[in-house]
Every structure is written in C-alpha cells, then in structure tokens.
Chain A
Amino acid sequence: MGNNSTHTEMELVSLLKSRDSNAFTYLYDHYSGALYSGILQIVEDAELGSDILQEVFINIWRKIDTYEPSRGRLYTWMLNIARNASIDVLRSKSFQNSKKNQSIPDNVDMLKAGSSLPDTDRIGIRKLLEQLKTDHRVLIELAYFKGYTQEEIAEIEGIPLGTVKTRIRAALTQLRTIIK
C-alpha cells in the first residue's frame, strides 16, 4: 500500500509541477480539510483560517517547483507552508491588535456560539497533546502552535535552553508513539 500511494503521490506531484488544473482541484478536494484543520489549530478563527488556506494554495501553486519529494511527503511540505502562514498571521500586528480589541466576554460568546469554528482542542495534534505531560505539552504548544524558537521558549518559561531541548525531544518522541 505504501508503495502504491507513493507512486500515486509521485504522479500527482509531477502533474502539479506542470500546473495541471485537475491536479490542483484534486489536491484541494483531498487536502483542504486537513490543512484547514491544521491552520485553525493555530489561528482559531474560521474567517482568518479561510483567508490563510487560500493563501496557502496560491503558495503551493507558486512554490511547487521547490518541493523536493526526497525530503518528505507532499502533505508534510504543505502542512509546513500552512503552519508558517498561520504563525505569520498570529504574529502580525493587525492580528495582535484585533485580539487586544476583543473584550473577553465577547470572545467567550463567540466560542460558545461556535457556528463555523470547530472545537480545535479536539482535533489534530492538539488532541494528541492531551496525552502528554503538562510541562511537555506547554513546550509543544509554544514551539509548534505559537512558533517560538527554543531560545525564546527558554526565556518565556524561565528554564534552561538544554532542558527545553530535552523536553521537546521527549515530547515529540511520545507524540510519535501516540500517533502510531
């Protein structure tokens, strides 16, 4: 099965690199949900998430030539584009300001109403995080979902850089066993 899917992916990538419209339609139909979920886990805003998803697909189109199949799966490559785009938005001034301008009660109501926003704590890597120890979970939260470097995390958490590295590695190893 693994062999078969790799072959399919190779075909898909080759069509994508020739900017085949049908291949991109397939890509959207197949992966938009997974990528959207990944984006929402970081920005936690459905409308913003849609904007980012659109930007991600445009970037996939533009950058597909730089994708190197030997370095990883297509999805992994796309997920990283999506994560980077989400963290960029998360760290942008306008997003920070809009967060500040939102009063807390409004925010709670919005989350309760939750019409278009799925409960992001229950999906993807966030769900897996629940099974980690608290001090590990916090570090993954900061590193993966907030995009902080290990040096920044050491400063934020007030723990030595070496400890941050060790704990993140330990948490990641655990994550793999959970995923399997």
Chain B
Amino acid sequence: MTTQEYISSGIIESYVLGLATEEERTAFEKMCDENEEVRLARDAFELSLEQKALQNAVSPPPNLRKQVLDKLENEKQPTRNISGKVQPKAPVKTLPTAVSGTKRTSYLAAASVTLLLVSVALNYYYFRQYKTYSDKYDALLVQNAEIVKNDASKQVRLDEYATAMQHLKDPGMAIIKMAAKGVASSPDPNSMATIYWDTRTKDVFLLLNNMPQPSTGKQYQLWAIVDGLPVDAGMVDMSAGLPVAEAFAVTLEDSGGSVNPHMDQLCVIGKVS
C-alpha cells in the first residue's frame, strides 16, 4: 500500500473522529511519527473538520459561560494548597453519600420503631382477644357441665313419667275417680282424687287432682272399702298392694295415719266400677 492509498483508506477520518480501534490507533500513531505525509494529511482533515465545526457552532445558553468558568475557578483551589498535591475530588463526593447513608439509616430506624410499635399494639390486641375468648370458653364449659347435669336429672324424671304413662295406658289399669260430691265433711266441694289400680299386680296409684293443702299435723289417708269396711291403703305418697276393693276414700287424719278412719273427716270417695 502506497502512502497515498493509506491516506485515502479512511484511517485518518476513523482516527480523528474516534472510530478507530485501539490497534488501529497505535498503528496510525506510529505511521504519523514515521511518515510526514500522513501526519500532514491528518492535520489537514482535522483543520477542515474544526473549521466546519466553527462555522456550524451553536451558542450554548449565555448563563452557562459564567457557570462553567466559576466551576473551573473552583477546580483551581485544590491545586494551590501548600503540599502542592492535587486533592482528589472523591472526598467532596463522599460527604453527601455519607449524609444520605445516615439518612437511610435513620429512615430504617424510624421504620423499625414504627414496625415495633405496630407489633406491640397488635400483640396487646390479640392478647386481649385471647383473654376474652378464653374466659368465654371457660364460661361455656361450666354452662355445658350444668346442662349435662340438668339433662341427666330431666332424663330421670322423663323416665319416671314414661313409666307412669305406661301404667296409665295399660288396659288392666282400673281408674277410680274420687269426688267430694255428696260428702258433707269435705273441706272443699271441688276436691278430687283419682285411683289407678292395677288389677293384675294389685298396685295402687293415687293422683291428687285437686285437694286443698292439709293443715299442719294433718295428712291425707287413703282407704279401700273392702266388704263394707275401710282398710288402710296407706298414707298419701305411699302405696301398697291391694288385692280387692269396692271403693276408695280419702280422709284427713293426724300425721302418721290412723288405724280406723275418721269418717267425719272424709274428703273424697269413689266406687270401683
């Protein structure tokens, strides 16, 4: 390649415009040192480029001039200190970073304190909730135990009623109504009691439908009339087997009962049908 060919290869423009690779630059610079013609061609291109650029100059904003020159004056300061050493620019930059670092740390600190407060508040809230529900739970446990107990006693009573019902429904059960009608000695003409007499087992059940409360020391006594004579059938709330009877009557006797009824104290009477 002749010098002329080299000059017109585009390497000069490539180098001047900053498009050449590192290798090309090194080779070109060597060429310029060795070949005056190449160097002059480079100078010529640079000069024409510069002149074009000056012709096409665009004025920057006018206020920029003072700004730039002031900045350059500031750049001067560090070079004129006693040691004569150029102060690195870096420390000036580290200050704001340090400040912003502190800032970030304090932001983080503030954030963690906030989070802590929120956490404490939530902990308290949830503990309160826990306490409330725990208390409610205990109350429910007690209530539940009570209900179970009630239920058991009700079950017992229900069983009793069921048994009674069984007796009442039994076709072998004789029902004798005892009324106060025609009984002059009865304290209340509306008094009424009913005898349920199991004709097979001979068990006697007495139901006091409407009997006045006996005075203190007195007690109702049930009598069965067998063969025209009254037989003690027990104090009310007491029942004993009775093989046969024509009628039943209730008298008011002294507590503990009497061997023979005071017929003047007859309250209700009913015939076995």
Contact = CB atoms under 8 A, between A and B. Distances in A.
A173 B8 contact: yes
A19 B69 CA distance: 12
Interface residues of A, number: 54
B42 A72 contact: yes
Contacts of A123: 56, 58
B49 A76 contact: yes
Interface in B69-122: 69, 71-73, 75-76, 79
B9 A173 contact: yes
Given A173-B9, A176-B13, A2 B58 contact: no
B166 interface: no
A122 to B, nearest CB: 8
Interface in A110-147: 116, 118, 123-125, 127-128, 143-144
A50 to B, nearest CB: 5
Given A54-B64, A73-B47, A124-B52, A168 B57 contact: no
A2 to B, nearest CB: 7
A91 interface: no
A72 B16 contact: yes
Interface in A17-32: 19, 21, 24-25, 28-29, 32
Given A21-B73, A36-B58, A76 B68 contact: no
Contact of A144 (B9, B19, B52): B19
A143 B67 CA distance: 32
A79 interface: yes
Given A118-B58, A172-B17, A176-B12, A2 B47 contact: yes
Interface centre among A37, A61, A116, A144 (most CB of B within 10 A): A37
A168 B19 contact: yes
Interface in A152-180: 168-173, 175-176, 179-180
A26 B36 CA distance: 31
A118 to B, nearest CB: 5
Nearest to A83: B18
Interface of B: 8-14, 16-19, 21, 29, 32-33, 42-43, 45-50, 52-54, 56-61, 64-65, 67-69, 71-73, 75-76, 79
27 contacts: A2-B43, A21-B72, A25-B69, A34-B50, A34-B53, A34-B56, A36-B59, A50-B60, A58-B75, A70-B32, A70-B33, A71-B29, A72-B16, A72-B42, A73-B43, A73-B47, A76-B16, A79-B49, A84-B18, A125-B17, A128-B52, A144-B19, A168-B14, A172-B19, A173-B9, A176-B13, A179-B45
